[in-house]
Amino acid sequence: MNNLKIKFLDWSAGIPVAMLNEKTATELGIHTKDRVKITTLSKPEKTFSTIVDTVKDLISPEEILVSSELKSLLDLKEKQFVKVVLAENSESLNYIKKKLEGKELSEEEIKLIVSDVVSNALSESEVAMFVSAMYIRGMNEKETTFLIRSILKTGNTISFSNKYVVDKHSIGGIPGNRATPIVVSICAAEGLIFPKTSSRAITSSAGTADVIETIARVDFSIEELKKIIAKTNACLVWGGGLGMVPADDKIIQTEKLLKLDPEAQLLASIISKKLAAGSKYVLIDIPYGKYAKVDKAKGLHLKERFEKMGKIFNIKIKAVLTKGDEPMGFGVGPALELNDVIHVLDQTKVGPRDLEEKSLFLAGEIFEMVGMNKKGQGINRAREVLYSGRAYSKFVEIIEAQGGKVREIEPATFKKIITAPSSGKIKEINNKLINSLARIAGCPADKVAGLYIYISLGDSVEKGSKLLTIYSKSKVRLLNAIDFYNKNSVVRIE
């Protein structure tokens, strides 16, 4: 009786959710909005909890209708049978409450929360409460260590016998800061193993995965990933598709809501990914500034926490503070940032200098970390690799190994050029508002939406000269973006 037949409907709810016939729900003692546990009958058994809606007519009492998200999560086939039972409330709710109340959590408690996040036994609102609790109460070193271990335990890992397995990560917050593909290409061209897994945008207008996805696949299995790295020394893929840190992937979804980014989760998210990917040397980029994620003091504090965590998990972590007062490069948004990356790598083109210099600095730091260069000399090696075109060749190689082809992408067709309302000097470009503007235009879901920024801090502009162009796939979103620009002080001229 508890076995129901899977039905599809091209129904995309954004979350895994299922529908039952009213009669079936009554018989199983399930009320609307209750959580049920769905288990596949075939081996290996997969289990996932989800909330249910009920319907009268759309499906028969023997059927269960699943959203496309649930279908792909459990790899379900039409007419397959699954077992459906009412899910009990998990103990983890009490632990979330405990953290809300400011108490320290044990390893067992954190482990249960994390595994309930993965199996969806906790709802999105419940995860939101966990994120709120971490945001307000913080987590000490022990708890953060437990969190990282728990995240690792619920996912897949890979490892390499190579000596130099490196990675870099930016804590984010700076629109257009797309150094990763450039740094990866430079380092991999010099023989370093660089298994770069990125998230999609959390609170920003684009993540590295969003950018690479405009021209190549980013969603691979662990096996495919190993082949790509064996061939090219590196990869530029989406971490979420690898099932390495499924807990982190779901928590990040929730963080989007309030644009919260609790410190413990930030540390855990980054470090667990690097450990899962087998990295031994990790460079962390911490941009600081007025409209960056952190100020200098907070940045130094984070640097200390990161480097300490490295010692605990026995890998080398170095964090560098970089200036984050304004957007980087010209483009903001997946396609527009890709174009910047190509322009820096391809020596026949002219790319944004700030992005080039930052990428060279970061690559140089990595060469020094692994001991290939003495202090202060790494950047010269990076420059040589970039200017010789070897980095670009490596980038082409990686993209092709990921089934793509390097090419520039045209931005969206609806556009609006914003001009200077008066002559003067550019005093401020607000990272956060630039980011919101790009998101209103449709980023990161619309890959060709975004901004092209013509100006930098300190530039002199004439009345009527170009400040930026907004690109959007939808007229409605373009109008919303223009309206947002007019209502907010995105660029300040004095």
- Report if residue 472 touches a copy of itself, rule: CB under 8 A: yes
Least separation in angstroms between CB 131 and a copy of itself: 8
Say whether residue 476 binds a copy of itself (CB under 8 A).
Answer: yes
Verify cis geometry, omega within 30 degrees of 0, for the bond prior to 444.
yes
Binding flag, residue 19, a copy of itself (CB under 8 A): yes
Distance CA 271, CA 172 (A): 15
Q: CA–CA separation, 49 vs 83, rounded Å? A: 11
Active site (annotated) includes residue 249: no
User: Given candidates 47, 81, 86, 153, which one binds a copy of itself under the rule CB under 8 A?
Assistant: 86
- Binding a copy of itself (rule: CB under 8 A), the pick from 47, 73, 93, 400 is 93
- CA distance linking residue 354 with residue 458, whole number of Å: 14
Q: Which residues are registered as beta bridge partners of 198?
A: 238
Please give the Cα distance from 374 to 92 (Å, whole number). Answer: 49
**18 neighbors 28 (Cβ within 8 angstroms):** no
Question: By the 8 A CB rule, do 361 and 376 touch?
Answer: no
| Distance between CA atoms of residues 213 and 443, nearest Å | 13
Binding flag, residue 57, a copy of itself (CB under 8 A): yes
Q: Residue 160 CB, nearest distance to a copy of itself (Å)?
A: 37
297 touches 348 (CB < 8 A): no
- For 457, other C-beta atoms within 10 Å of its C-beta total 13
> In the set 155, 299, 442, 450, which binds a copy of itself (CB under 8 A)?
442
Nearer of residues 228 and 252 to a copy of itself, judged by Cβ: 252
Q: Does 24 bind a copy of itself (CB under 8 A)?
A: no
Does position 101 interact with a copy of itself (CB under 8 A)? The reply is: yes
Name residue 142's amino acid: K
Q: Tell me, residue by residue from 117 to 156, as one string, x for binding to a copy of itself by CB under 8 A and - for no binding.
A: ------xxxxxxx--xx-xxx-------------------
Select the residue interacting with a copy of itself from 3, 27, 62, 422 (CB under 8 A): 27
Q: Is the Cβ of residue 22 or residue 357 nearer to a copy of itself in the bound state?
A: 22
In whole angstroms, the minimum distance from the beta carbon of 138 to a copy of itself comes to 12
Stretch that binds a copy of itself, among 385-393, 399-407, 427-435, 475-483 (CB under 8 A): 475-483
Structure tokens at 95: 């632990």
Q: What is the DSSP-derived secondary structure letter of residue 205?
A: S
Residue 51 as a binder of a copy of itself (CB under 8 A): the answer is yes
Per-residue tokens: 89: 């409330």
Backbone angles phi, psi at 103, to 5 degrees: -90, 155
Q: Is residue 55 part of the contact set for a copy of itself (CB under 8 A)?
A: yes
Alpha carbon distance 376, 340 (integer Å):
27
Q: For residue 454, what are its two tokens?
A: 């013509």
Q: Does 15 bind a copy of itself (CB under 8 A)?
A: yes
Return the range that interacts with a copy of itself (CB under 8 A); candidates 83-91, 177-185, 210-218, 308-316: 83-91
* Cβ neighbours of residue 156 closer than 8 Å, sequence gap 6 or more: 222, 242, 243, 244, 276
88 or 384: CB nearest a copy of itself: 88
- Comparison of 68 and 456: residue with beta carbon closer to a copy of itself: 68
Tokens encoding 54: 């009920």
Q: How far is CA 298 from the centre of its chain?
A: 22
The single residue of 167, 249, 261, 340 carrying the catalytic annotation is 261
| Contact call for residue 416 and a copy of itself (CB under 8 A) | no
Question: Measured from the CB of residue 57, what is the shortest distance to a copy of itself in angstroms?
Answer: 6
Residue range at the interface with a copy of itself (CB under 8 A); choices 39-47, 94-102, 217-225, 242-250:
94-102
Q: Any alpha helices (H) in 244-352, and if so which ranges?
A: 246-258, 263-276, 296-312, 334-345
Find the helix packing angle between 475-487 and 431-440, rounded to 10°: 160
205: Cβ contacts below 8 Å, ≥ 6 apart: 175, 332, 333, 435, 438, 439, 443, 444, 450
Calpha distance 335→292 (Å, rounded): 23
Residue 103 in contact with a copy of itself, rule: CB under 8 A: no
Q: Which helix (H) or strand (E) holds 412?
A: none
Among 75, 104, 141, 258, binds a copy of itself (CB under 8 A): 258
Least separation in angstroms between residue 32's CB and a copy of itself is 4
- What is the closest distance, in whole angstroms, from the C-beta atom of residue 70 to a copy of itself in the complex? 12
Residue 485 phi, psi (nearest 5): -60, -45
Binding string, residues 211-250; x marks residues near a copy of itself by CB under 8 A: ----------------------------------------
Which of 89/348 has CB closer to a copy of itself?
89
Q: How far is the CB of 65 from a copy of itself (least distance, A)?
A: 10
Q: Are strands 331-332 and 234-238 parallel, antiparallel or unpaired?
A: unpaired
The number of residues that bind a copy of itself (CB under 8 A) is: 60
Positions that interact with a copy of itself (CB under 8 A): 9-15, 19, 22, 26-29, 31-33, 51, 53-58, 67, 85-86, 88, 93, 96-97, 100-102, 123-129, 132-133, 135-137, 254, 257-260, 440, 442, 445, 472-477, 480
The residues that are catalytic are: 261
